[in-house]
Amino acid sequence: MELRPLGRTGIRVSELCLGAMTFGREADEPTSQAILDRFLDAGGNFVDTADVYSDGVSEEITGRALGAKRDAIVLATKVRFPTGPGPNDVGSSRRHIRLGVEASLRRLNTEWIDLYQVHCWDARTPLEETISTLDDLVHEGKVRYVGASNFAAWHLATALGTAELHGWEPFVSLQPEYSLITRDIERELLPLCRARGLAVLPWSPLGGGILTGKYRRNEDLPTGTRGGDSDEPITFTYRLDDRAWRIVDAVGKVAADTGKTAAQVALNWVACRSGITAPILGVRSLDQLEDNLAAVGWELDEDHRNALFWASAFPRGYPYDFIEYANH
């Protein structure tokens, strides 16, 4: 598996990142262990989890599964969402981050976290409080690098400027949703990350599973799939519009032309986009992992890339269209 720089840091990560959100939820511990072992055997060295995945069980399974292999892995986790019923058990405050990092270190059975990410923008906490706390964690050796997830472009730009102004550790990465279904980061976030040298680690690169071809137009979502088994169907149904089905059809045609699976085509498109570091895989079985691993090591030709690009075209709106017109 190809290695890529994690933004402007001095470390390199595999071009695919193994997401552990399924650990302890769709995948039991033995299956999770087998998935992690196979990912490492394939050349992967980048694993991502979060303190809220399976109420902390994901981190516990990940920590036990890594064991003596810990030093060879770039390990990422996140903090921000509720970890308890109390009013201060949520957010990016100094208190919640401090308690969160200690709990994650215990569950992961490690002395440090390579990439500690703020899981989502927190409008209630002053940005200076969040970034200064993360800076302290880096200087204490509990965290090596810090990143953001689910930030708007102005959030991220303000955070970078605040860190630069005070000499604090800057965010080195962004973990956004990105796929052929959801391309919104192309408006501002992706250009910002390219300009500032941030790694981009897309979550849900298969559009919540719809790009795998498992879902059919005018049919119920099948059981045994993330969409069919979800308690929050809105996270899938908002994607199932005419545009989404047009994209599914285009992916299926490219898959037939290339002899690849639909999932491999969709993942390859994301992995090869300019500015993308490592799409995050979310798998519940070894079969799914094997299919995803075969998404790299090759490239779509220009005709196929263009077919997918235009099938998934989306309205950029003002001022982007105006700026493009003015710069013609």
Look at residue 234 and tell me whether its pLDDT is greater than 50. no
Whether the per-residue pLDDT at 232 is higher than 60: the answer is no
Provide mean pLDDT across the span 277-281.
Answer: 98
Q: Which of 42-46, 169-173, 205-209 has the lowest mean pLDDT?
A: 205-209
Provide the pLDDT for residue 236: 54
Give the bridge partners for 281, in sequence order.
18
Q: What is the pLDDT of residue 285?
A: 97
182-216 per-position pLDDT tens digit = 999 999 999 999 999 999 999 999 999 999 988 88
Inform me whether the pLDDT recorded for 22 exceeds 90: yes
pTM for the model stands at: 0.95
Which CATH fold topology does 3-326 show?
TIM Barrel (3.20.20)
With a cut of 70, say whether residue 132 has pLDDT above it. Answer: yes
Question: Rounded mean pLDDT of the chain?
Answer: 94
H or E element at residue 280 = strand 280-281
pLDDT at 215: 81
Q: DSSP assignment, residue 213?
A: T
How confident is the model over 143-163, as a mean pLDDT? 98
- What pLDDT sits at residue 237? 53
* Mean per-residue pLDDT, 220-231: 60
Q: Is 53 annotated in the active site?
A: yes
Segment 12-21 mean pLDDT: 98
How far the first Cα of the chain sits from its last, in Å, is: 40
Tokens standing for residue 216: 């059919």
Q: Choose the catalytic residue: 53, 116, 145, 178.
A: 53
